[in-house]
Structure 1
Amino acid sequence: MGISKRLAITSLALLSTGSLAACSNSTETSDQTTQETQVKTVTVATAGDIKPFAYEENGELTGYDIEVIKAADEFLNDYEFTFKTTAWESIFVGMDSGKFQAAANNLSYTEERAAKYLYSLPIAKNPLVLVVASDSSITSLDDIGGKTTQDDTGTSTAKLVDDWNAKHTDNPSVINYSGEDVSKRLNDLSNGEFDYLVFDKISVETIVNQKGYDLKIIELDTDSNPNNYIVFSDDSQELQEQFNLAIQNLYQNGTLEKLSQAYLGGSYLPDKSELD
């Protein structure tokens, strides 16, 4: 074989090797791109004004609900969570339109929501309480007839009062839909602008203790579900399932307990049987 022929064969071999390397690099790049595109961004909506569940501190969004999602994200390699603050009344509108895929706002269970959205496993136990001035004659829900409260539209607390009114049409309670956050409502209640407030225990105790309001907190014996949840859009079943597995892991490894102590000021975990 002549020198020129050997050189030609060598050149062809080098070209082939280079082509294989190029193909290999292309395949690796394609695999990396595929892996990256498999990570789905989940936009979580919150009003961000309901301490200690979701609020801003030093310009950063935090709170129990927010930190639970961040902790769960460590187990969810296929998802990346981002947070968007919006008005309360825009949260579910945004989920209906596909703008948001999840909501975190100290959300309780209602049949109406469950018919449209997917609920996570419970992440905290947070029963409702009745809040009144310390010298109020109101001692239970039996006393709210003819009295006035403030609330937001579409809340479980407003529904509780509406259901009570449906059974007491002769002397119903009055709901003023103020749109104010719970901190402002508790301030208004302490100033005598209305008669009572129904809200969740953890939020009320946190704010009353911080502000030193002269208010009385009364435990409610109701059939309402005392837990709170993360809520997902109805097309997020796979995300819901993986998130629930992450919540079970966070419960078992003690992370939920640590977050509860840090943000809620005590152990407010749901019953273990509710996480099985």
Structure 2
Amino acid sequence: MIMKNRGFIKKVTGLGLVFALALSTVACGKSADNSSAASTEVEEGVKKVKVAWQSNSYPLAYEDDNGNLTGYEIEVLKLVDEQLADYEFEYELAGGQDAQYAGLSSGKYDLVLSNAFYTKERDEAYSLPKNPLGASLVGIIVPKGTEGIKDFESAAKAGIKLAPILAGDGLYYVVYKYNEENPDNQIALEATDSSDSFMNAISWVADGRYDFAVWPKNYYEQLVVADGGDLHEYNDKLDFYDCRSVYTYPIISKDKPEVAEAISGVLGSLKEEGKLSELSEKFYGYDAFKYDTVKND
């Protein structure tokens, strides 16, 4: 099932997973008195959690035709909010990722939605719930007609060349974890500091500069497969193969561990009840939780 394109940005910098940005915003520090920024507020015993969502992030977070905020990540948080009597979530459009993480660093926001994968550095810099918010299906992209290359294992065995991945990006971690789990059949992993590498990987593989790339399926469907996608010109030149799922997490302020813990408890229950799978089917057209999942440290 292919969701229709809703104005995806022409340049996506690493799936909302650019750790370099996360570090730079953390380094800015937090003011001891940030009353004007207004972080978690308390009103009649209920703590308000300021949630930042970013534009051009369909189907994760977007406004529908009636102007209502929805999307996979939004609907999951709504279910979480319903079960947390001590908290009330307030949503604010933060624009792009830069604004999200700057606001998280300054205390303007308590929680960021950015389809974020786990990384060790991110876990140290922020408060991450133990249980995931979602799952993102990741696959490999190869030139159309390529035979025998349909997963990480076959790509590694063939010794073909992977397009560079932004250093610190969640996709880099996915390949790194595969190599860690398969010491005798590794993929040559090249890091880059170019934020354009994510989008450029499509043309690089289509033109033969590199043999394959690693991408999330939802981005591939929106940007390459969908009519009107910013990279649709390459659709007839490439094949995509599902490989593994990667858990995604809300990024919560380091000084709000209690919020992360409360959210994590509800997320665990929703996952066990199958609610996350239902929402995955609704917004992605498939259950991303059914696939082999990258294990966090």
Distance across 1 between alignment mates of 2:286 and 2:140: 20
Equivalence for 2:264: 244
The yes-or-no answer on 1:91 pairing with 2:80 is no
Q: Which has the higher helix share?
A: 1
Contact 1:49–1:56 (Cα < 8 Å) also in 2: no
Aligned to 2:239: 216
| Cα shift readout 1:74-117 (whole Å, capped 9, x = no counterpart) | 11222223133332234333322212211211111000000111
Q: Please tell me whether the aligned partners of residues 112 and 250 of structure 2 are also in contact (alpha carbons under 8 angstroms).
A: yes
Q: Please name the residue that 2:60 is paired with.
A: 53
Task: Using structure 2 for the length normalisation, give the TM-score.
Answer: 0.60
Aligned-pair Cα RMSD in Å? 4.1
Report the counterpart of residue 72 of structure 1 in structure 2: 80
Q: Say whether the 8 Å CA contact 1:102–1:230 is kept in structure 2.
A: yes
3-state secondary structure, aligned to 1:129: strand
Residue number among 249, 256, 259 corresponding to 1:229 in the alignment: 249
Within 5 Å, give how 1:161-200 maps onto structure 2: 173=190, 175=192, 177-178=194-195, 188=203, 192=207, 195=210, 196-200=212-216
Task: Report the AA paired with residue 177 of structure 1.
Answer: S
- Change in Cα spacing, 1:53 to 1:186, as seen in structure 2 (3 Å) is farther
2:260 and 2:107 map into 1 onto residues whose CA distance is: 16
Other-structure match for 2:38 = none
Q: Distance in 1 between matches of 2:52 and 2:145?
A: 39
Deviations 1:221-241 (A, max 9, x none): 7xxx82111121111122112
Say whether 1:155 aligns with 2:169.
yes
CA distance in 1, matches of 2:161, 2:269: 47
Deviation at 1:64, TM superposition (A): 0.9
Q: Which runs of 5+ in 1 are unaligned?
A: 1-34
Is residue 44 of structure 1 aligned with residue 48 of structure 2? no
**CA–CA separation in structure 1 for the residues paired with 2:102 and 2:222:** 29
Q: How many residues align?
A: 231
Give the superposition deviation at 1:144: 8.3
Q: Which moved more, 1:47-56 or 1:233-242?
A: 47-56
Aligned-pair distance for 1:187?
6.9
Secondary structure in 2 matching 1:92: helix
Which protein has the larger Cα radius of gyration, Structure 1 or Structure 2?
1
Q: Distance in 1 between matches of 2:81 and 2:280?
A: 17
